[in-house]
Each structure stands twice: as C-alpha cells, then as structure tokens.
Structure 1
Amino acid sequence: MTTTGAHEEAEGLTTRGFWWWRRRRSVVLDVGLAVVSALECAFEGIRFADSARLPVALGVVFGVVVGSVLLLRRRWPMTVVLVSVAVTPAEMGVLLAIVGLYTLAASDAPRRIIGALAGMSLVGTLIVVFVRTRQDVSGVDIESARWYIPLIAVFMALSMSLPPVLLGLYVGARRRLMESLRERADSLEQELSLLADRAEQRAEWARTEERTRIAREMHDVVAHRVSLMVVHAAALQAVALKDPQKAVKNAALVGDMGRQALTELREMLGVLRAGEQQAARKVADAGSGADRSTVPLASVGVAAAAAAAAAADDGPGMEDIEALVGQSRDAGMVVELAVQGVTRAYAPEVEQTAYRVVQEALTNVHKHAAGAKVMVRLAHRDAEIAMQVENGPSYGAADAGLPSGGNGLVGMRERVLALGGVFVSGETDAGGFRVSAVLPYRDAA
C-alpha cells in the first residue's frame, strides 16, 4: 500500500472504492495527473518520433501509454519509477518521474530500494541532460564549456530527483509518526477503559464489603442485647407473681440492656451519617465539573473509613468481656471465665474482634442451649491471643425461640480471618458446642 492510501485508511476516512483507490478524490487526482502526464508524453513523443524517424502517430501513442502509467502510482510506485527511468533517453516523462519518485519515497518500501531507484533516475537524467546540453553547445565557441555542461547536467539532475524524494521521505515519516501516535492513543484509551472497569469492580467490591461489615456490626450489637432482653423478659414473666423482687431486678436489667442497645445503634448510625456528610462536603468542594457518578462511591468509602475508625476507637475491648459474662450470669446462665497469661494491651481491632467472638458465642448459647453450663477461656500468649467458648449439653431445655439468620458463625469467621487468625467451631463429644479462635498479636501502638 502506498503512502496516500495508507494515510487515508489510517484516518478512517476511506470507503470501499474502485480498484485500489479508496476515495473518489483520490481517483480524480490520479486520473488528472495521468491525463496531464499522457499529454506531456504525447507532445514529447512527436519530437521523439521525428528524431528516431518513426511515424508521428506511433510516437503519440507511445507517449500516451507511457504517461498513463501514472495511474498505477498508488498500487505499484516502483513500476512508475522504472518506466520513467526507461523513457528518460527519449526525453519524456518529466511529470511521471517527479510524481513517481515522490510516491515511492513516501511509501513503505525499503529504504535501499528507494535509494537505488532514485539513484538510477538521477544518473539517467544526468546522462541525458549532459548529452543534450553538449549537443546544443557543440557549434558554439564557449571557453567555459568544460565546466558549463557538467554543471548544468548536475543541477538539472538534482533539481528533478532530489526535491520529490526528500518531500516524499518527509511525508512518509510524518504519516508513520501520526499512525504511531494514533495507535498509542488507541492503546491508552483501551488501557483507560480497562482501568475504569477495574476501578468500578473495586468500587463494587468495596461497597459489598462495607455492606457486609455494617451488617455484621448491626448483628453483633443487636442480637446479643435483644437476646438477653428476651431471656430476661421470659424470666420476668415466670417469676412476676412468685418473686416480685426478682421480677423488679429482671425488669431493670431489661431496661438497661435496651438502653445500651439503643445507645450503640445511635453511635453507629451517627458515624454513618457523619461519613456521608463528609463525603458530600468533599464532592461539593470539588466543583460543579465533578462526575456525579462518583458521589455514591465516595460516600461509601468515607462512611466505611469513619465507621471503621469509630468502631476501632470506641468499640468494646478485652476489658469488657468480664462485664459481658456478668450480663449472661444475670440472665440465669451458668458461666465460668478463665484467663491464662498476662493481660496486655492489643490493637483495637484485635480486642474488638475477641470481644465480638465471645459475645456472639454467648448469644448462640442463649438462643439454642438455654440452661447449659458455659466455659469461657482466654489465653494470652507471646505471639497470639486464644479464646474458647464451650457449652455443655442443654439436657432437653426448650429453645428460647429467638430468630436466627444463620450469620453468627459466618460473621465470627470473617472477623477472625480478616486479621489473619484461625477460627474453628463445631459440636463436642459431650453433646455441646465449641467456638475457638486464635488471633495474632498486634501491639496497641
């Protein structure tokens, strides 16, 4: 493919045309050049026929055929140059040679071929001009004929061969540069599209993770408190007439737990609202030119960060486990707490996860094994902290009738694995249930 055709195709302006032409104006241009070249060669063919003592008609036909070869310049530029070199001794085809050299130099042909054909055209023109000039000045007595003839021959040969070749090389290099830049732009556009798709996937993943985390927090906050409230309400109903003092005590516990649950819910909702307001302020400060589609993602991201920070700083910790066990004891559960090792400060996320594991395990006992004896063990080790909540058989005790979504164990496992820990749960040989978790040590700093 020659330079013009390749350039048209690269610009995306081409249509299915006639033969090797892809646009109508390309056909018009080449046909016009071929007509001019044919007229020129036909006129020069008359002179060639006279000098060669051939019929004039034959010279005209020969010139028309030679000039019409210019129609092939886009398809076979080397053929056009070779024909122009071949007819150089007949002193015809000036336009054919100039346009052919330009088209060849601007094409994707190897440089050595371009150089060889351009050299042939240069040498041919040099020889013809030298001979013709020598014949013209042969009858004139000029002392400077020795340098005049070679100078004119070199000047004419260079002026006919060098400019079209240089211009063609420039146009071809510019076309290749534009094609390279266009390919890079297309590649960058594809990469940006891929990055946008990946960013959208990450955003969707972040939203899903945040929904899961919020659901887990809500489950841990509400399920335990409400479960204890239901247990105390049942005990209150049972002893209201028999033991008024115990009924009053249970009623007070129910009220305290309800207030604690409401307080924790308000804190969590306040954190989420603060995150959304902060995201809205950032979007407003970004200007009216910002993409509105990024607002929900920003809200989710800021809300997630704020909720995580608040949960880590203000959430329950290891020191609250004893009070948690005390609440279960007040609800009538027999719970023993055993602590091994030296108590120390852990990172907030470690302490909160340990607390939530124990809380959820005790909540499950209240739901599914009411009246069973429970053993809570904590072990502070050098590189980790281990916790275990194990309940014995319930001996036919009735289920508390509390609703269960089946997400308690899943939430505990997700929390522990997120910190690089180990989580195991299952029934014991004695007919009870055991929940065990090991968290790696992280310094509070």
Structure 2
Amino acid sequence: MDCWTSSFDVDDEFAKLVLRMNPPRVTVDNNSSRKATLIKVDSANKRGSLLEVVQVLTDMNLVIRRAYISSDGKWFMDVFHVTDQHGNKLCEEDVAERIQQSLGPRARSFRSMRRSVGVQAAVENTTIELTGRDRLGLLSEIFAVLADQKCNVVAAEVWTHNSRMASVVYITDEVTGSPINDSDRLRKIEQLLLSVLMEDRDKRSANSAVSAVWTHKERRLHQLMYADRDYDKNSVNSGTSDRRKALVTVENCVDRGYTVVNLKSRDRPKLIFDTVCTLTDMQYVVYHGTIIAEEPEAYQEYYIRHADGYPISSEAERQRLIHCLEAAINRRTSEGLRLELCSLDRFGLLSDVTRIFRENGLSVTRAEVTTQGSQAVNTFSVTDSSGNPVKSETIEAVRKEIGLSILRVKEDEYAKSPPQESRRFSLGSLFRSQSEKFLFNLGLMKSYS
C-alpha cells in the first residue's frame, strides 16, 4: 500500500482550513425523479472527498442507482440517485446532515495504513487484523485461539480472494466484556495468531504490528488485501469463475490529459464503494465520472489522474490498475453456498461452528459475524476443500450437527444472471436523457469511445 508523505499532511491541513471557510452543502431532492431521491453535494475539494460521500451513503444502507461526478479544480459537485434497499425513495430527514458531518473539518481521517497482523484497543472492544494464505480450517484455528485466550468475538468480517485471506475481528474479554488493554496479553494473542497464519511458512504473513488508529472496516479489508497483493495474477488461483468476472478497460484520453477507466460487472450492493475505495487508496483522483448501477448490470466510467496530476504513463501501471479493480470487485463475490446462522450468542460459538465446518471438509470463503443484543447473526460462504460446490448431503449433516433451526441455507440473489462479455464498452452509448448528459454539457468531459 502506498504511504502518504509529509507534503500530503500539509495539503490536508490546508484542505481542513478551506472546509472551515466553505462548509459542504448537501441538498436532498425527492421531487426531480420519480424513481429515486437525488442527493446533491457541493463542497471545497479535498483528496478523498468522493470516497467519504460514497462511504457514508453505503454505511446508511442506501443504494446508489446513478451518479454524476465533477471535481475538477478547487470545488466538487456530485449528484447521486439513491434508494433504500427495497428500491424506494428516502424518508429519512437526517441524510443531508449526516453527509455534511462526514465531509466537515472534524470528519475522521481514513488514510492510515497498518501491516498484516494488528491488535488495537477501541472504545468498546479490541480490534484484531489478520492477513495470510487461505487454507482449509484457517478460520477455525483463529477462532479456537481466541476462545482459548478467553476472548469473546463480538463481530468479524473475513474475505478471501486469490488464495489470500484478510480479516478484521472485534473482541472483548470473556469475563468483563470490556476491551483488552493488557499489552502483554495482546502480544501473546498476536504471536499465537501469527503462528497459525505461518503454519505453511508463508513469508507474506510474517509481519505484525500493534496500532491505535481506527479505520473503516470494509475499507481496511480492501487495504489489507491490496497490501497482501491479492491482485497478483501470478498467484495460484483467483477463485472467481469466468462467468463472474468484471470487465475493466483503462485507456488514456490524450486531448484531455486524463486516464479513462470503464467498468462493467454484475450489479450488487457496495460495488461503487469498492471501486472508488480502490482508486483512492491507489492514490488516483477522480475528476469526473458517471455511474449507472441498475440491475442486473452496473457501468462505471471515471476520468482520473494520479495524485501527482498526471495520467497513467506505462503499460505496467495500466495493467496493475486493471488487476486491482478486478480484485476489488471480486473480493465480495466469493464462490460458495451461503449459510446463515442465527442463535443465542455464547462464548466459543464461532470456534465450535467453524470446527464443525472444518471436520466436514467445508472451506469458508467469506464470513460476516455480528451480535445484535443477545443474538448472534452470522453468514458464511462455503465450498468444499477443492473450491467446488458442497454436496447437499454434507450441508444437511452439518445443519443437523449445529441445529436445523439455527443454520439455514440462504439464497444469494447476486449469484444469478452474469453480464454478457463484450470486447469493449463505453458509457457514452448509454446516455439518452438530458440528465444523463449533465457532465458532458458542462464541456468538462466527453465520452471516450
């Protein structure tokens, strides 16, 4: 992962001053569109502004159907067409205020970077970060170590891609229910987890770090996997079938001095966040963009430059960006059958459940662990040990052992209708209405075709 230099810190301080003098303006329009709520954001421009807006919309569980982005110069103006998760317009009254707070001068900075295993104390829990080579039973061993060290897992998210694994786990002390602050205990937990990750002598899992910096969980997972080079095409296997593959093109628009990025993939939740997050963390600046994300397909077009103000200058950099965007899209679409576990939460639950998965030859490709009051609500994507679909009799055996009413098969609606491949695509051919020509009519950009 690229690091921010001291000059960027100076730029950040100047950007904060500009924001204090020119606070962001957010308007919510429920009248202009019949199908969606329009959220318009005008603000002084600073690095990462687009990601912060997309991030807060995503965290509010809003679905971005369309977006028009313009941030050339010292000001940026974005228009988002959003709905709730059921496709309805918004009724919430605090949307504008929450977005303004996210962009204001006191907004939390998300530009921190940490290494492969980190342990930090937060306000309500302790956060553990892990990266390593994925293998059968790895998650079971991780949760077994935490249970043995009297750590209660209150939440976690695990991604796997291209034979790599990244995880952010939130724990508390089993007895007190409080964060773990004892440095010696944290160091022991970290070393035990490192020994699990290094069991196959994977050199890339050998680093560890303790940090006191908070970051957004899903952005952090992207950063961890990017730093672990899960985008590397020389790795064993991407774990994503051709039918699910995103289509990405990156070409220079010489007369405008931009690099143009086009993406086409199956539409799904948080897709736009994943791509904008990756562009930002790779230190590319989005100057203009247009997004159409209406099921079953999503199209994104971005006019970008590197943070130094120049477009992509080499074939190696172009290929790297393509591979990184493909990886960012595919990380959330792990192959496998989705299982949902709902039960009363108890200490050691995850250790027991993942042990049963391992003993039955199930490999966990993705996991999301949450605690809602006294209830544990967890989802797992699983395959067999070879990455193939799990046999129905194996699933039923696992369900009987854990509890038929506790563990259920959950249909994944986003595993259907893959986009048809095309050799080349451009959003320019998709614009028909006046609103869709918004940015082009400003004379700031043109469709690259």
Q: When the two structures are superposed, what TM-score results if normalisation uses the length of structure 1?
A: 0.21
Greater RCO, 1 or 2 (C-alpha within 8 Å, sep 6+): 2
Q: When the two structures are superposed, what TM-score results if normalisation uses the length of structure 2?
A: 0.21
Q: Which has the larger radius of gyration?
A: 1
